[in-house]
Amino acid sequence: MTKIKSPEINKSQIIKAKNIQIELPAQPVKYYRHGWQSWSMAAWTDVKSLPIQKPAIFHPLQIDVEYAYESNPHGSWLGAVEFADGKILLLGALSTDTHVFQIQNQLEGKSEADEAEWFIMSGDENQVFDEYIKQLKIRFGHTEKNHVPRVWCSWYSLYTMIDEEILFKTFDALGDLPFEVLQVDDGWQKKIGDWEVNEKFPSGMKALADKIKSTGRTAGLWLAPLIASKKKKKFFLNKKLFF
């Protein structure tokens, strides 16, 4: 275990180690948990243990299963703590197969493979994360892309529990929040592979799209085009859509 003291404000460092431990200068008030995959939570949270969601069977599906019942604050690849003065300290790996924990007054990083490079920096949140991103770009490369729209997706707020009334109310409640696309996700179709609107949307998808457009945004719709039921007439009439 490589042990180091808390770094100076606004000074980053990179250390090679399999496992690393940073002594924190004060008791943190928040911990940044970084999710393992798209279903995992990525957010600033209390430093105490979080309750396991119900039904509990879903819990191991949304987190790296090896750490599903870890009681200390933790996350995949990186972790950060926030102090009472608003400054943060980030410990982030510049490789994969790593995990970060807050254990009492320490941040600990663990590599599940070989020795890893660890980025460490303390300071303002935006500056610290910007510097970390720069180092990730150096290691992994990046591509310049055209503008990527801000998307609100029903999956992350409502999962599959959507219907026409709920979505209409939600679209109104979004007000002038800076979303450019409102995407209707899983729950609108009859079933996976049967891409026709179900009974929860009696006005049809055009009405839903028109409602979204009335807010000044682009309408989006999720489907999985490589999954199709052979029993559906539209599948045979529109095979070119799937192949």
CB contact at 8 A, 220 and 181: yes
pLDDT digits (tens, 9 = 90+) for 191-240: 888 888 999 999 999 999 999 999 999 999 998 877 777 666 555 455 55
pLDDT band at 167 (very low <50, low <70, confident <90, very high): very high
Query: Whole-prediction pTM value?
Result: 0.72
SS3 at position 157: helix
Evaluate if residue 178 carries a pLDDT over 90.
yes
Neighbouring residues of 129: CB distance < 8 A, sequence distance ≥ 6: 90
Which amino acid type is present at position 23?
A: E
SS3 at position 19: strand
pLDDT digits (tens, 9 = 90+) for 69-79: 899 999 999 99
Supply the pLDDT for residue 189.
95
pLDDT, the chain, mean: 90
| CA 90 to mean position of chain CA atoms | 18
